[in-house]
Structure 1
Amino acid sequence: MDLNLVVALRALLEERNVTRAGLRIGLSQPATSAALARLRHHFSDELLVRKGNSYELTPLGTALQAPVTNTCAMLERLFTSRADFQPATEQRDFTLLASDYAIAVFGAELSRVLHAEAPGVRLHFRHMDPRIVEDTGTVLSGVDGVLIPHGVISGFPTVELYRDEWVCLVAADHPGIGDHLTLDDLARLPWVVYQRLFDAPVTRQLSMLGLEPRAEVFVQSFHLLPNLVAGTRRVALIQQRLARLLHGLATVRVLPCPFEAIPLQEALWWHPVHSQDAAHIWLREVAAQVASGIAELDGHQDVPAAGQDAPRTG
């Protein structure tokens, strides 16, 4: 199959208009119509059907949108790969999928190092694609990597980054909670729950213990957990490193988990197509260095003791 048809397919599915698609990729209208005819023959589907004065995608055309976008991104990265990479002088864009937790704890320091060592590099952080679990290869093929802990995906190359522990958050003035929580407390208290469970595998561990959190608030940002716990009877699970960064932003207490919560092992995963790319190799080496620095800081951090009130701000 002519790979130029992949470019035409993306333009046709996104523009839903033969003329505009042709202008976008530099083809005449007859040439674009011919490309559409070949694509229809290949897929045995109309892909675009006229409705009034416009076109609509067929069900197959709709289903092809995401794969063809990722395929074009992968091909672009493949053909822009270099045998060497000089970070001080060259330009490059890197795209990483990550949760707000991973960006705060790891991504911020990574961006500072890139700022100092590679002024021509642009770093794009995007929200986690929910397809990462069911269609890992397709998602990874369209980006440079994903920051996600072990226990969610497997079977792809990875750089180990750092470990983190899970702790509990309760309001500083929570009635009836002292310096420790029990499993009975977790069962009876309302919860604030991070909604995308694939970023918090520890919640699955609670189910194995026979505990189903009574969720009262759902949120898609780990950063919002302290504010949604403060001044309430709610409880939440949060990563210790993030709790340290957010210390003082809400009147909450950090308490140990009343069960042996499985530690979080954060990693950078990527598609094998990037493995021999010099720029990507450099990025992975920098990521490993940043992670090593984060680990070295562990012994020098002043972490609030369990049960200590976070100071009020503002």
Structure 2
Amino acid sequence: MNLQKLDLNLLVALDALLTEQSVTRAANRIFLSQPAMSGSLMRLREHFQDELVVRVGRSMVLTPFGARLAPRVAQLLASIGEVIATRPGFDPATSDREFTVVASEYLLAVFLPLVTARVAATAPHVTLDIQLRAGDHEQRMQAGEVDAALTVSGLALPGHPVAPLFEDEYVCVAWQGNDRIGEALTMDDFLACGHAVRSMSLYHSYTLEERWLSRLGHRRQVALRAPTFDSLPRMIVGTELIASMQRRLAEMSAQVSPIRILAHPAQVPPLVALLQWPSFRDSDPGIQWLRQLVQDTAREAYGPPPSPSGAAGD
């Protein structure tokens, strides 16, 4: 390997250029002047014999070669950062390390409080930066900006290891004063009722329940959309609407809202909560500790995890 042909400091500039697709934004990202970034781009184009980014109209876009290069450069820089940050071991009692944990809205509500309590008890100086999953999740995982992700199968990223944590099932909830619904909810009742549903985002356009209903040939009547699953029980109070959600979240909601929990008539397959982490951080002692803590927390709260092959997902 001949590294003399390319100043490795240019890799940082290359990553910024491929990510931002703008000389100005790339310069601001790594605190360079715009002329210096333009010079870096010229050297990179000469080295790779490719334009990397080109102007199309009023915007800059990646060339096909630049698009192929972008994730590889991001992962390479993340690996270099991992090597530089490597320490002989990890002592949770004394470490002041910060871990970034990305979670789905559901797992943020029902499971992460158990994890944070355990971290506070065993690693008092560790900081958890907990964030909701967003559209750039895959890019951030590839770049090493995420230490662990709590998700569900069906939303797990390819190419990174996963560990199943626990299962949950879909149920229906109705206001306690909803006389339209009896002790049990039939499929006819389900389809005749108006439904409150969670609004889907650009990066999460379906739920397991919706996919299952579509497979069965059913289509429900959507009367209300809300931004989060945990807001649905509050939205249906005082109405004849029903909502579908995960049982554990429904049970939490029933403690503060006057709702009834009913078996889902479509018998939707269970979803499986998963822990995922960057593949290139598999041997990081700190990540290993965090993974074990999360898995131990799930096992103590919910019992042995399901088999990976049984993960249906959301």
TM-score (norm 1): 0.77
Q: 1:288 aligns with which of 272, 295, 302?
A: 295
Q: 1:215 aligns with which of 210, 222, 225?
A: 222
CA deviation string 1:13-62 (max 9, x = no partner): 6595669938945x67765443121234437337487x9xxxx750229x
CA deviation string 1:98-121 (max 9, x = no partner): 122101211111111111222232
- In the comparison of the two structures, how many residue pairs are matched? 286
Q: 1:21 aligns with which of 8, 24, 27?
A: 27
For the residue of structure 2 that corresponds to 1:170, the secondary structure is strand
**Which segment drifts farther, 69-78 or 200-209?**
69-78
- 8 Å contact kept, 1:16–1:48: no
| Alignment of 1:116 onto 2:121 | yes
Q: 1:242 aligns with which of 249, 255, 269?
A: 249
- Per-residue deviation at 1:295? 1.2
Q: CA RMSD in A?
A: 3.4
For the residue of structure 2 that corresponds to 1:253, the secondary structure is strand
Q: Which amino acid aligns with 1:159?
A: A
- 8 Å contact kept, 1:164–1:240: yes
Q: Which amino acid aligns with 1:175?
A: D
* 173 and 28 in structure 1: CA distance in 2 versus 1, 3 angstrom threshold: closer
For the residue of structure 1 that corresponds to 2:179, the secondary structure is coil
Partner of 1:141: 142
Q: Which amino acid aligns with 2:238?
A: G
Q: Which amino acid aligns with 1:193?
A: V
Partner of 2:43: 38
CA deviation string 1:107-164 (max 9, x = no partner): 11111111122223221222223466xxx5x453241232112233355311221111
**Which segment drifts farther, 175-184 or 188-197?**
188-197
- Per-residue deviation at 1:210? 1.2
**Which segment drifts farther, 236-245 or 279-288?**
236-245
Q: 2:280 aligns with which of 264, 267, 273?
A: 273
For the residue of structure 2 that corresponds to 1:168, the secondary structure is strand
Matches within 5 A, 1:48-87: 57-60=59-62, 67=71, 71=75, 72-73=77-78, 75-87=80-92
Matches within 5 A, 1:151-162: 151-153=154-156, 156-162=160-166
- 8 Å contact kept, 1:15–1:21: no
Matches within 5 A, 1:161-200: 161-196=165-200, 200=207
* 187 and 119 in structure 1: CA distance in 2 versus 1, 3 angstrom threshold: same
Q: 1:260 aligns with which of 248, 251, 267?
A: 267
* 198 and 160 in structure 1: CA distance in 2 versus 1, 3 angstrom threshold: farther
**Which segment drifts farther, 2-11 or 177-186?**
2-11
- 8 Å contact kept, 1:81–1:279: no
* 96 and 178 in structure 1: CA distance in 2 versus 1, 3 angstrom threshold: same
Q: Which amino acid aligns with 1:140?
A: M
Partner of 1:127: 132
Once residues 9 and 105 of structure 1 are traced to their aligned partners in structure 2, the CA distance between those partners, rounded to angstroms, is: 41
- Per-residue deviation at 1:93? 2.0
Once residues 43 and 124 of structure 1 are traced to their aligned partners in structure 2, the CA distance between those partners, rounded to angstroms, is: 40
Q: What percent identity do the matched residue pairs reach?
A: 31
- For structure 1, the 5+ residue unaligned runs are 297-314
Once residues 148 and 264 of structure 1 are traced to their aligned partners in structure 2, the CA distance between those partners, rounded to angstroms, is: 10
**Which segment drifts farther, 110-119 or 146-155?**
146-155
Q: Which amino acid aligns with 1:278?
A: P
* 147 and 198 in structure 1: CA distance in 2 versus 1, 3 angstrom threshold: farther
Once residues 227 and 150 of structure 1 are traced to their aligned partners in structure 2, the CA distance between those partners, rounded to angstroms, is: 27
